[in-house]
Chains A and B, each alone.
Chain A
């Protein structure tokens, strides 16, 4: 008999239940929404961090190599820098060669090191090729130093210009702003044709744009049609480095 009063206290009225379920659902939805939002934010932050790291690395690599290059050449959209063979790799640990004078110019060791920067798909690669004195390849290693690269443009170098510089543009896909998810990033010099890619893919107008004001326009393909989402300008890095050895005296 005493149980009934207790059972009654344990129950809820329909109104109470509806209120509690409603509030609970609302709170849970808010938590889920916050979690999803935070997750997106983290993903974007991670992507941004990765891209920023890639951009800094690319700039630092190119600037360092340009400063110490003895010659530079641009061909087929790639930049090739020639460095002296500074290290005597036969010594352990490797030591710097003693510089020598030849025909009034300084050289280290024999042969040369060719460093080539190029775009390979969406990767930006740095190829280090060590050549011997007769041009034979001693070693050749290509390493992607940045990903999600949309375009790489480098201006032809006029070696006769005593103040020659290497000017490069490297444009990255704005993945931090528009998460690709399972979609693929595309790029081109004008608005995408609807036949490009599939639904969920992204497209950005790159630095080769015929209309430079459209550079950074981001499109999303949905329902078989690309729609302009927004313009993102902050994904292009630019460097203009003086060729100290190749030109400066």
Chain B
């Protein structure tokens, strides 16, 4: 009896102790579980973010390859179908250039990998593909699709097996993280895939149809388009329906403004900096701007300069000029020139006789130089003709020897019924140091092609005016000039200036031949960015396979 009584007393204490310890253990276990779960969620979240960083690094590597043409470690695979998991080692042959429409280039993750120490992720890597995405292209060239998959590999699989209790986290991160690995089943861990579309940016000749350091305003009924025709002469049937970028505005404080009358004004795109263009879609469809409206604009118009006298060589000049549309830079040396005196009428020669015609007498590499000291004015009722050098009998224009540069040190003005006739076969480049007033009626470019008639405006705070009812054919590169195109006549060519107001009903036609046959691609710019967050093999919390 004594023994039994003692045992009962000791047992109650033991039970109490065990009960207490059990409660404390349960509480501690719960606490540790929550803390562990929280820690795991944190690690997974961090790894998920690291995967994005890896994927973006892959995009950077692809852009670098596109821009530099260096394809070290890249492979070319001859199929247009992109893989959904990383191709096995040894796939493809060494890449030597951009992929064609039936290929894709591939950068294996072994070439873009980073090992790390400590808890969490042990390895970050990315594998990348580049293809033409079904031959995307525009007038500048092929567009490319980059798919980059960033992949994190954990130190320990324990991180993989314990996930957040919230299913939403699985929808956002863990569906891909835990169950779906684009790298392969043996490499579980967060993976994120980015799809980027890159568009080509011409290196030189980046000027558009209308390139302005400030702004464009269209208040009439005219339109802007681009064309490419066999003879470089505009017709609506040759309009570029890919709607390339036509207008570039560089100012940050002004904006393009399009008339709000419901007409289609720009058969192309507008790129701008600063305030967005107004009324670009005021009365659509169709919108006033049918192409892309994008920002920011890169407007880089080198300021043209006058020819420079060569020291010690009387009458000799040198001149360098970069064409903003073709990107070509030309350097000239003039060992002689013909000088006239300008004023309120047609120029006069050294004998004070009025000059009514000149002959283009040089080649493309060595054009003739005419200098007009003062204003060049073609008054009403007068004509001024630029004739070609001729050859043969009967004489015909020798276009290869009919290049001239006319340097007007004052204003260039045609007024009233005065007419300048640029004969067929000639190629004229005007350097004008002051205001420039011309019209389609008063400047008759018989070649019919814009590339044969170029006006270069030198200086700032000048004005360019084109009016009349006939089509002006030529280019104007005058970065310091404020332009106005009025009247019902069209403008065929290109304009680069400070600002431009198109107030008349005449239309503006950009001749794509001005860009040159194959403008060099300087680099590639982002056109689209998308992250694929869907797992086609697992449903989300709402029962969907496709998860946005």
Contacts and interface: CB of A to CB of B under 8 A. Distances in A.
Contacts of A108: 530
Interface in A89-123: 89, 93-96, 98-101, 103-106, 108, 113, 115
B217 interface: no
Nearest to A105: B292
A99 B528 contact: yes
Contacts, number: 155
Interface residues of B, number: 71
Interface string A111-146: 001010000000000001010000000000101010
Contacts of A249: 271, 294-296, 525-527
A103 B292 contact: yes
Contacts of B35: 45
A50 B164 CA distance: 10
B169 interface: yes
B102 interface: no
A100 B295 contact: no
A87 B269 CA distance: 27
Contacts of B197: 99, 106
B5 interface: yes
Contacts of B138: 101, 104
Interface stretch (B380-388, B471-479, B482-490, B537-545): B537-545
Interface string B36-52: 01100110010011000
A31 B27 CA distance: 12
Contacts of B133: 98-99
A95 B546 CA distance: 9
B34 interface: yes
B318 interface: no
Contact of B195 (A46, A64, A96, A104): A96
Contacts of A95: 536
B301 interface: no
B548 A162 contact: no
A115 B548 CA distance: 9
B212 interface: no
Contacts of A34: 24
Contacts of A98: 133-134
A216 interface: no
Interface stretch (B88-96, B239-247, B422-430, B461-469): B239-247
A6 B136 contact: no
Contacts of B525: 249
B526 A128 contact: no
Contacts of B537: 93
A67 interface: yes
Nearest to B542: A141
B169 A64 contact: no
A248 B31 CA distance: 47
A96 B532 contact: yes
Interface in B502-548: 525-534, 536-537, 541-542, 544-546, 548
Interface of A: 3, 6, 10, 31, 34-35, 38-39, 41-42, 45-46, 48-50, 52-53, 56-57, 60-61, 64, 67-68, 83-84, 86-87, 89, 93-96, 98-101, 103-106, 108, 113, 115, 128, 130, 141, 143, 145, 159-160, 162, 244-245, 247-249
Interface of B: 1-2, 5-6, 20, 23-24, 27-28, 30-31, 34-35, 37-38, 41-42, 45, 48-49, 133-134, 136-138, 143, 145, 164, 166, 168-169, 172-173, 195, 197, 242-245, 255, 268-269, 271, 273-276, 290-292, 294-296, 525-534, 536-537, 541-542, 544-546, 548
